Structure 1
Amino acid sequence: MLLQSLRAEFEQEVKSTRKLLEAVPAKDIDFKPSPVSWTMGELAQHIATIYYWYVGTLTKSVYDLTADHIERGAPSDIAATLELFEKNVALARQALASTTEESLQENWTMKAGGQTVLGPMPRGAVARGFLFNHIYHHRGEMIVYLRSTGNKVPGLYGPTYEQSQAQKGG
């Protein structure tokens, strides 16, 4: 039951993430709201990269982020980031397809350089709390970046504030 819900949510949210990443303009790719923030390009690339982590989360019992290297391209190249996103979504979809309800109950651990950074905890909780919510968090950041640079934000769950105001004539 949980798996069926996760798969349906994944497919719905991939569409929203795609719309958001497609809204990132090349002209503002180097924008960052503060000295400690990522650039818009780095944030977009991070969002695209999270989809790759579905593979390590759903197919391994211990996933070491630092031991797993993927070719990302330059964060200043939004076309490369969109390509990375599509590739990682396909890999994540395959991992979700091979997942079972039983495997969602198995303990899972994330490491970075051999040090435990998350877990052990049930894989289903990791998928929900770390993968799905992590993407939503960073999508929210991206919306702030887009608005801060005067760009249009796509409606992810219906019309945006700007779209609703335009419909009201205000």
Structure 2
Amino acid sequence: MILKYLTAEFEQEVNSTRRLLQAIPQKDLAYKPSAISWTMGELAQHIATIYYWYVGALTQDVYDLAADSLERGDPADIAATIELFESNVAKARTALASLTEQKLQENWTMKAGEQVVLGPMERGIVARGFLFNHIYHHRGELIVYLRATGNKVPGMYGPTYEES
């Protein structure tokens, strides 16, 4: 039953993430609010990359970041980031469709070589916390970047200030 709701949420939120990424103007990709922050382009690319992590998180018991590679392209090219996003969403959708209720209860671990980064923890917790909520967190940051640069923010849960 949980899978039905995760899948529905995934599809709804993919559409919201797409609208948000499409709202980023090429001219503002170098913006960053502080010296230690990512640029808007790097943040957008990170959001697109999280969808790639669905595969390792949902289909492998131990996901080793060091043994995996993802060609990301240039974070200063919003079209390339949107293309990465679309490709990763397709992979994430396939991984999500392969899940069972039983697999949600199994333990999962993320490593970077020999170092454990996350886990072990139940895959269902990973799906909510590391995947879904991680994207929402960074989308919130991206909204702040867009507003700080004078750009319009698309509605995701109803109209935004700019749309009302």
Question: Which range, TM-score by smaller chain?
Answer: over 0.9
Partner residue, 1:79: 79
Deviations 1:44-89 (A, max 9, x none): 0000000000000000000112221111100001000000000000
Partner residue, 1:104: 104
Letter of the structure 1 residue corresponding to residue 29 of structure 2: I
**Distance of 1:11 and 1:52 partners within structure 2:** 15
Q: Which has the larger radius of gyration?
A: 1
Partner residue, 2:143: 143
1:56-95 equivalences under 5 Å are: 56-95=56-95
1:162 Cα deviation after fit: 2.7
Partner residue, 2:28: 28
**Distance of 1:24 and 1:30 partners within structure 2:** 11
Q: TM-score, normalised by structure 2?
A: 0.98
Query: Is the CA contact (8 Å cut-off) linking 2:154 and 2:163 kept in structure 1?
Result: no
1:144 Cα deviation after fit: 0.2
Q: TM-score, normalised by structure 1?
A: 0.95
1:161 Cα deviation after fit: 2.0
Q: In angstroms, what is the RMSD of aligned CA positions?
A: 0.7
1:29 Cα deviation after fit: 0.5
Partner residue, 2:161: 161
Deviations 1:123-150 (A, max 9, x none): 0110001100000000000000000000
Which runs of structure 1 show a deviation greater than 4 angstroms over 4 or more consecutive aligned residues? Answer: none
1:2 Cα deviation after fit: 1.1
Letter of the structure 2 residue corresponding to residue 70 of structure 1: L
Query: Is the CA contact (8 Å cut-off) linking 2:58 and 2:96 kept in structure 1?
Result: yes
1:163 Cα deviation after fit: 2.3
Partner residue, 1:168: none
**Distance of 2:114 and 2:152 partners within structure 1:** 42
Is the partner of 1:111 in helix, strand or coil? strand
Letter of the structure 1 residue corresponding to residue 23 of structure 2: A
For structure 2, the residue ranges without an aligned partner over 5 or more in a row are none
Partner residue, 2:124: 124
**Distance of 2:25 and 2:91 partners within structure 1:** 26
**Distance of 1:11 and 1:42 partners within structure 2:** 24
1:155 Cα deviation after fit: 0.5
1:25 Cα deviation after fit: 0.5
For structure 1, the residue ranges without an aligned partner over 5 or more in a row are 165-170
